[in-house]
Amino acid sequence: MNNPLLTDDLLPKFGHIRTEHMETAIDQILSENRMKIQSLSQQDDPTWDTLAQPMQALEDKLSNAWSVVSHLNGVMNNDDLRKVYKNCLEKLTEYSTEVSQNEALCNAYKKLAARDDFKGLSEAQRKSIENTLRDFHLGGVDLPEEDKKRYANLSRELAELSNKFSDNVLDATQHWYKQISDVTELSGVPESAIEGAKQAARQKELDGYVITLDFPSFYPVMTYCDNRELRREVYEAFVTRASDQGPDAATWDNTPVMAEILKRRHALAQLLGFDNYAERSLATKMARNVDEVLDFLNQLAAKSKPQAEKEFAELKAFAKDEHGVDDLQAWDIGYYSEKLSQKRYDISPETLRPWFPVDKVVPGLFRVAEKLFDVQIEEKPGVETWHQDAKAYCISRNGQPLAWFYFDLFARQGKRGGAWMADCRVRWTDMRGKLQLPVAFLTCNFTPPVNGKPSLLTHDEVTTLFHEFGHGLHHMLTQVDVLEVSGINGVAWDAVELPSQFLENWCWNPESLALIASHHETGEPLPEDLLQKLLAAKNFQSGMGMVRQLEFSLFDFRMHAEFTDEAPTNPLDMHRKIRKEIAVVEAPAFNRFPNSFSHIFAGGYAAGYYSYKWAEVLAADAFSLFEEKGIFDPETGKAFLQNILEKGGSQEPMELFKAFRGREPQVDALLKQSGIAGAVA
């Protein structure tokens, strides 16, 4: 039987892919790649066509199979798939280290870069070769043989530990639930969330209502539930996931996993000649050194903290004066913030939900992209997907397909929490001149439709959807034909969030909101009074929000920058230290936030979480040009498309930003956009 993971399909045949195909496909591709690399690396006079192009073909075949396996592990997780994924991950890590330490292959690339006609290659081709040589160095190719083995072992162990961290968080999140028989315990919780709790109970074959730690269930309890004891119970379960505390204490404890990850990252960085892992992280980023990142974060903290303190003092006074609560706790913040917001602006996320049905928001999102970037987006119902919730779409311009993508928007059992974009296929032109179009996976965890009622989003969820689609457009609208720098490939990690955060701005403008929002029953547009309240409330507690993100960024960066063999950083101690310096809300002693911080312990953001804030500066400054010219100004949209989205990783991000904006980025636009500029002045 043909293995569907080994076919040359642009769109994977999800209806035919089985777990037993996965490891077989990866084994075969790795075996074939090893043989071909041995031959390619022996060339005396390698050219782009005889070395770089064939290497891209090998990379593409492996990526096309692994992207599908990795995606299914995230969205349809089960014990069998998890085991296969772990086995494949070990083999891929070993192969990746082997390739990055292949001296003969590295020397072949050096010969290619030294050719007289190297400058005659395209900018994208030259950039991809420069990146490849940099990555050979970062992969340990220059190391003595003994150190190479050590590097390989560290890489393999890190991959295993990161996967273990991720599994622990998923298991801890999905294991805990609370069954409630008396609906009065959920007083204050919106009807949509109560319906969701009923559905969750039915899925577990239980009576009454079930609260889980998935965001669509957890968030309404923390924000609206009048039952303070229930809020505390749910909060404790959430912030102690995968730790030594809470209801599942020590069952999936990530404390030792984090310690081992940090130890190995530090050892790996030192092998490569860096003082710490933060320095190693910056070797592929836009920021130039550790001090620059710390200065950037500390300056933002200094400018934001006074406003955050003021906002928190207002919240405490409100809780005490109007609700008689004089001991405001962490599990009260969301609840009383919502009450204060309602009093001040007479609006809440639940008030707005009826105007943001998924089946209106999604076409509205597409319309925004179509107006900005001169594309057309159309659903393709006949395409095979992995679940009935997943849908396939094609992006085209003037009838010519540019890219494809999948939306998988709703939370369910066996699906990793959060929202993300991942590539399924990368745009590039192969040796026969055949163009492979880009394909993206776009995943969210919104509340699914319940009892025939449509899925209604909060405005925050609308923003999340726009954010991920911004990543998708960066991947899909590229015009680069060189695999390593096409789409999001090769983009500095602290610039990769620019298009995603940039697109969020269209969730806040009356002109674009008219395309996104209409009442799910009547079709009426968002009333003017609600629109004005939404815009007025935009920067509610923006100082508190800013210092919270800076807390995560500083925790991550300093934890990696300050680690030494003599005094290994303890993540919990570092988190407490950072909180003491910049947080305004006191966390309870049982809080174990680091234990479920998957972005840095199981994702790609290690010593790079600051990238969100760094790119937010770029995004706010980029959007300020649209504010000047008009948010759907065709020329400005075309300039962003041509200078940022189409270029992918083919040039340095600062060059691309300056080509679009005419100058280097300025932090003022972000402070102004966040409503913090006045506080600074």
Active-site residue numbers?
A: 468
Pair 171, 130: CB distance under 8 Å: no
Give the SS3 label for residue 410: strand
Report phi then psi at 87, rounded to 5.
-60, -45
CB 423 within 8 A of CB 436: no
Phi, psi of 424 (to 5 degrees): -100, -45
φ/ψ of 166, rounded to 5, equals -60, -45
Q: Single out the residue of 380, 578, 402 nearest to residue 473, CA to CA.
A: 402
Query: Residue 349: CA atoms inside 13 Å, Cβ hemisphere, count?
Result: 23
How many C-beta neighbours within 10 Å does residue 488 have?
24
- Give CA separation, 260 vs 161, 255, 433, 564, 578, in Å: 8, 9, 46, 13, 21
> How far is it, in rounded angstroms, from Cα 405 to Cα 392?
6
Q: Find out whether 669 and 657 touch, Cβ atoms under 8 Å.
A: no
Q: Determine the straight-line distance between the first and last CA of the chain, rounded to whole angstroms.
A: 69
Half-sphere exposure of 516 (CA within 13 A, CB side): 28
Please state the separation of Cα 436 from the chain's center in Å.
25
Q: How many CA atoms lie within 13 Å of 315's alpha carbon, on the beta-carbon side?
A: 25
- Give the HSE-up count for residue 676: Cα atoms under 13 Å, Cβ half-sphere: 26
Closest CA to 334 of 315, 350, 313, 320: 315
Pairing of strands 428-429, 435-436: antiparallel
Q: What are phi and psi of 215, to 5 degrees?
A: -55, -45
Using CB atoms within 10 A of its CB, is residue 120 exposed (0-12), middle (13-18) or buried (19+)? exposed
